């Protein structure tokens, strides 16, 4: 796989899965641009962008001449049952996970059409199977899956490919901090058919493939990187 000469924008690229994606695309030769509210440690081109704010996206795009790859990775997660979820919770998660992804894509699509580029949306295996403690998150990620399918249909004839990657439990710093005890980490692992938690590079590897010419006939695809979580309802029990 070779992305030399390609320009990629990665939202939420400063840490976690996004950081691994940035490093993978860079390793493959792409020029990587990060949109995030947090400045990355690496020396990549960076714009402080809140993806819920259309004006911040537009301002950043004024400085970017062309785009071949867009990775919509930025998102938020929390666990709350229906009756615990407030209006502010709904607004915050929908604004970032749904509206933010939509707004970034809308502002970048013209440049992607010019380059016959590709979009890779990062959803979640929880867009396919339920997690009982996070109905709102599951709903937003299911929305991203359908968004992917709609755009794949709309832009196929224009040469823009659109695919979706669905991570399962991935050992980022955020997830690591949620395990108060090692026992909790083990319990999480045991709920996964492969009996282990994934690492960010395993997600980034799939993104790298989908961004490359090796995936030139791939669009509208939904790719789970979840150790088998989405093959059954085991994770929701």
Q: Which residues are catalytic?
A: 137
Angle, CA of 49, 54 and 55, to the nearest 5°? 75
Question: How far apart (Å, rounded) are the C-alpha atoms in residues 117 and 212?
Answer: 10
Question: How far apart (Å, rounded) are the C-alpha atoms in residues 86 and 175?
Answer: 23
Give me the residue label for tokens 């929305």: 143
Q: Beta 118-122 vs 69-72: how paired, if at all?
A: parallel
Question: How far apart (Å, rounded) are the C-alpha atoms in residues 234 and 237?
Answer: 6
Contacts of 102 (CB under 8 A, 6+ apart): 147
- CA-nearest of 5, 234, 6 to 112 is 6
Give me the residue label for tokens 């996964």: 192
Sequence-ordered strand ranges (E) for the chain: 7-11, 31-36, 45-48, 69-72, 118-122, 161-167, 222-225
């Amino acid at each position: 796989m070779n992305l030399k000469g390609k320009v990629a924008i990665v939202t939420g690229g400063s840490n976690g899965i996004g950081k691994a994606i940035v490093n993978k695309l860079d390793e493959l030769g792409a020029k990587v641009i990060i949109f995030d509210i947090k400045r990355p440690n690496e020396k990549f081109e960076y714009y402080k962008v809140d993806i819920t704010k259309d004006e911040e996206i537009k301002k950043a795009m004024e400085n970017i001449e062309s785009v071949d790859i867009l990775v919509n990775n930025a998102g938020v997660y929390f666990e709350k049952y229906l009756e615990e979820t407030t209006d502010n919770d709904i607004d915050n998660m929908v604004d970032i996970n749904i509206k933010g992804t939509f707004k970034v894509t809308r502002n970048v699509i013209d440049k992607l059409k010019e380059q016959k580029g590709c979009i890779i949306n990062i959803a979640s295996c929880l867009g396919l199977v339920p997690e009982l403690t996070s109905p709102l998150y599951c709903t937003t990620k299911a929305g991203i899956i359908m968004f992917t399918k709609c755009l794949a249909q709309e832009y196929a004839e224009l040469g823009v490919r659109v695919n979706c990657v669905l991570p399962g439990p991935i050992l980022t710093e955020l997830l690591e901090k949620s395990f108060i005890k090692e026992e909790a980490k083990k319990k999480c692992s045991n709920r996964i058919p492969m009996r282990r938690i994934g690492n960010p590079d395993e997600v980034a590897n799939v993104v790298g493939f989908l961004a490359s010419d090796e995936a030139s006939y791939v669009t509208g695809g939904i790719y789970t990187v979840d150790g088998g979580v989405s093959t059954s309802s085991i994770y929701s029990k």
